[in-house]
Amino acid sequence: MTDIFEILHTTRAMRRLKPDPVPDALIARILRAGASAANGGNTQRWRFLVVKDPAIKQAVQAWYKRAYDEVIGPRYAGSAPPPGTTAERYARQHAAVEYLTERFHEAPVWIVACLAEEKPTRWSGASIYPAVQNMLLAARALGLGATLTTRHLLYEREAEAALGLPPGVHSYAILPIGYPMGRFGPVGRGPLRDITFLDRWGEQWDIPEEG
């Protein structure tokens, strides 16, 4: 079994996925990992919609692509590389995002992470995003590629209608899942010292070396 810390540090967003079918047994393992996550008061208001129907995926992909054309694509084109990466790697990331945009509906399986909640609040995500992260880590452990995407929420009403979500149920992420075309590897992040403070905001901490 792969070490948990290796999984944590190599769970990249895998946006280039093969169209090959993914066995239901593996998807079930991923869902069980999600349902093991922490959630507020253990109310378990999460709901997971597994989507395989090509027509449903194509309907959502139309809004997903529109969001890219209008917002995400221009943002990438006008942004500097984030911490821990290079211009070359950022360009590759942009290309992968564009690839997923065009082929979003071709990912063999989607898991749509939802909450059954009439009026979402600022802390609602605490009851669904831990499950999302568990599912991403489980997919990585099983050798499956996935990514957390929320772009469809730029057209939330239209995308959720295409997904057939009933009133009182809201989506928080879509995880396209499939066998990756690329390889897992270290994620690109900036130094920990740049984002961590001790006791007081802005007070640097002499973080111990790992190992």
- Report residue 93's pLDDT band, with 50, 70 and 90 as the boundaries: confident
Q: Give the pLDDT band (50/70/90) at residue 131.
A: very high
Query: Strands, DSSP E only, in 64-211?
Result: 109-116, 145-146, 169-178
- Three-state DSSP class for residue 71: helix
- What are the C-alpha distances in Å from 165 to residues 33, 74, 121, 173, 199? 23, 30, 19, 13, 44
Place of tokens 């984002």: 195
Q: Which of 17-26, 120-129, 144-153, 163-172 has the lowest mean pLDDT?
A: 120-129
pLDDT tens digits, 104-130: 999 999 999 999 987 888 889 999 999
Its pTM surpasses 0.75 = yes
CA distance 189 to 187: 6
Identify which of 170, 153, 140, 130 has the alpha carbon closest to the alpha carbon of residue 36. 130
Residue 68 Cα to chain centre, angstroms: 16
The 10s digit of each residue's pLDDT in 17-61 is 999 999 999 999 999 999 999 999 999 999 999 999 999 999 999
Three-state secondary structure readout of 19-49 = CCCCCHHHHHHHHHHHCCCCCHHHCCCEEEE
Domains within the chain, CATH numbers bracketed = 4-194 (3.40.109.10)
Nearest to 134 by CA among 25, 33, 8: 33
Give the span between the Cα atoms of 47 and 7, in whole angstroms: 25
Angle at 55 between CA 106 and CA 171, to 5 degrees: 80
Structure tokens at 189: 């992040």
DSSP 182: S
Q: Cα(31)–Cα(51) distance, rounded to whole angstroms?
A: 13
Identify the three-state secondary structure at position 119.
Answer: coil
Categorize the per-residue pLDDT at 91 as very low, low, confident or very high, splitting at 50, 70 and 90: confident
